[in-house]
């Protein structure tokens, strides 16, 4: 009988360690199997991703090619549009200039170059008001703040200067008459510049001068027969050639009054033609403007009483004599005051005042509580033959020349005439009359 030897503790430890190592090896093997499977899955996912990326890259190349074609086509279309717009702007017969917010020139067309003598490369980036000075009809330079381009850049929506021609100065210092329209360039509700379109109106001025000369000639020819009718009518009315019946006197008075209206119209037309032709005779004399205004008021007293108008005169005591033409100044006051009375309803109020300004100007102010001037027609009120819609039916005998004459006389004297008005609330006309000499023509 074989006797088993007992296992020593060292051997037991070895056996136990071998079992542990075997178990760890099995665990490691299993982990490696799992890792291998994961790697296989990852490899498949990578392959799928690679294939997707390949498809995406191909799609991107296709989209890029398509986009590139579209961009080229759009660029070509934009270039054609730009060329077309450039051709249109270049072909416009009127001068065109675009300026930025500071009034610097950013674009001019061919007509601008031809009319003013400047080339685009010479003036781009320069101030329009400095490059192209502006003068009024009397040759006086227009201040920066009074130019319509400046007004638009300051916030006015639209300004047209069609009824009050001015002159632009060319590069060679010669000048030509111009009418223009200026509109703002608006971006994000802010004014970022302006566009001005202007045209040479030399031919129109020549035609207008020819018409004025014809009116002057016709008016002179009309004065003689009208004077004859006036003379004989007066003789008949006064009984110098025999007694007339009541009915005959009534008819003669109608003839006389109608003839007087014709004489007034002819004289007005002659005044207009003289102003426009520069042949208006100006006789400067020391003039008491307060006394002159009071005389004009007295001439209208009957009309003021008939209409029950409350007249409010106000004349400062320190107004000196001014050297001016009293006859022309009387026409100014007469036109403004007669309009205020004529277009104020019965029982209304009219005021006339004279005050001395610090700038050595006498300021004439005539205000009324009359019909006023419609806002959409206020820019035409000083033009020849214009009459506002709201007064035509109330006064059929008006000529629409009084304010034109008054403004022309005041401006020739170196003054300024303007107004404020609201329809059905009345009007206020202001005239500044300088104490210096009136400009002769």
351: tokens are 């005021």
d(CA 105, CA 89): 15
Q: Look at residue 441 in the predicted model and tell me its pLDDT.
A: 40
| Residue ranges in the chain modelled with pLDDT below 70 | 1-8, 77-78, 80-91, 157-165, 212, 214-220, 276-281, 359, 393-398, 436-441
| Chain position carrying tokens 């001025």 | 205
Q: Do domains 205-277 and 285-434 have the same CATH topology?
A: no
Residue 328 · residue 289 · CB < 8 Å: no
pLDDT, tens only, 391-426: 776 665 667 788 888 888 888 888 889 999 998 899
| Chain position carrying tokens 């498949």 | 44
Phi and psi, residue 329, nearest 5°: -65, -35
Bridge partners for 310 per DSSP: 349
Report pTM.
0.54
CATH of the domain spanning 285-434: 3.30.565.10
Indicate the domain borders of the chain.
21-84, 95-200, 205-277, 285-434
Q: Look at residue 340 in the predicted model and tell me its pLDDT.
A: 93
Q: Look at residue 438 in the predicted model and tell me its pLDDT.
A: 41
**Burial annotation 9-40 (CB, 10 A radius, 16+ → b, else e):** eeeeeeeeeeeeeeeeeeeeeeeeeeeeeeee
Fold of 95-200: Beta-Lactamase (3.30.450)
Q: Look at residue 376 in the predicted model and tell me its pLDDT.
A: 86
d(CA 405, CA 386): 12
Q: Look at residue 264 in the predicted model and tell me its pLDDT.
A: 73
Q: Look at residue 99 in the predicted model and tell me its pLDDT.
A: 92
Residue 292 · residue 330 · CB < 8 Å: yes
Output the CA–CA distances (angstroms, integers) from residue 262 to 157, 238, 248, in the order listed: 43, 21, 21
Output the CA–CA distances (angstroms, integers) from residue 386 to 42, 148, 163, 377, 400, in the order listed: 92, 23, 11, 9, 5
157: tokens are 């929506």
| Chain position carrying tokens 């009397």 | 138
CATH of the domain spanning 205-277: 1.10.287
Q: Look at residue 398 in the predicted model and tell me its pLDDT.
A: 67
Q: DSSP assignment, residue 400?
A: S
């Amino acid at each position: 009988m074989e006797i088993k030897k007992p296992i020593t503790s060292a051997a037991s430890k070895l056996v136990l360690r071998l079992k542990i190592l075997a178990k760890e090896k099995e665990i490691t093997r299993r982990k490696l199997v799992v890792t291998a499977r994961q790697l296989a899955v990852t490899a498949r996912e990578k392959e799928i991703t690679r294939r997707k990326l390949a498809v995406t890259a191909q799609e991107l190349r296709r989209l890029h090619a398509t986009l590139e074609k579209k961009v080229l086509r759009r660029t070509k279309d934009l270039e054609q549009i730009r060329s077309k717009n450039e051709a249109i702007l270049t072909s416009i017969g009127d001068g065109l200039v675009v300026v930025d917010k500071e009034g610097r020139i950013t674009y001019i067309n061919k007509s601008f170059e031809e009319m003013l003598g400047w080339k685009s490369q010479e003036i781009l980036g320069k101030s329009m008001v400095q490059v192209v000075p502006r003068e009024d009809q009397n040759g006086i330079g227009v201040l920066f703040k009074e130019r319509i381009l400046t007004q638009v850049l300051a916030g006015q929506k639209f300004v047209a200067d069609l009824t009050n021609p001015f002159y632009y100065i060319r590069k060679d210092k010669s000048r030509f008459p111009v009418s223009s329209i200026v509109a703002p360039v608006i971006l994000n509700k802010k004014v970022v510049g302006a566009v001005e379109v202007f045209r040479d109106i030399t031919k129109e001025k020549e035609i207008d001068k020819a018409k004025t000369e014809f009116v002057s000639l016709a008016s002179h020819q009309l004065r003689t027969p009208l004077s004859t009718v006036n003379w004989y009518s007066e003789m008949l009315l006064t009984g110098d050639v025999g007694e007339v019946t009541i009915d005959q006197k009534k008819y003669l008075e109608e003839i006389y009054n109608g003839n007087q209206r014709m004489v007034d119209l002819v004289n007005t037309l002659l005044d207009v033609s003289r102003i426009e032709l520069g042949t208006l005779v100006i006789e400067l004399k020391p003039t008491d403007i307060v006394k002159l205004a009071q005389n004009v008021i007295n001439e209208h007293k009957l009309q003021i009483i008939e209409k029950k108008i409350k007249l409010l005169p106000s004349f400062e005591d320190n107004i000196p004599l001014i050297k001016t033409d009293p006859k022309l100044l009387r026409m100014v006051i007469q036109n403004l005051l007669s309009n205020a009375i004529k277009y104020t309803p019965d029982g209304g109020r009219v005021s006339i005042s004279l005050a001395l300004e610090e700038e050595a100007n006498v300021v004439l102010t005539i205000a009324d509580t009359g019909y006023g001037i419609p806002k959409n027609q206020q820019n035409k009120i000083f033009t020849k033959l214009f009459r506002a819609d709201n007064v035509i039916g109330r006064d059929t005998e008006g000529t629409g020349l009084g304010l034109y004459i008054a403004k022309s006389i005041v401006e020739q004297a170196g003054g300024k005439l303007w107004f404020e008005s609201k329809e059905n609330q009345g009007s206020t006309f202001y005239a500044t009359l300088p104490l210096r000499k009136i400009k002769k023509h």
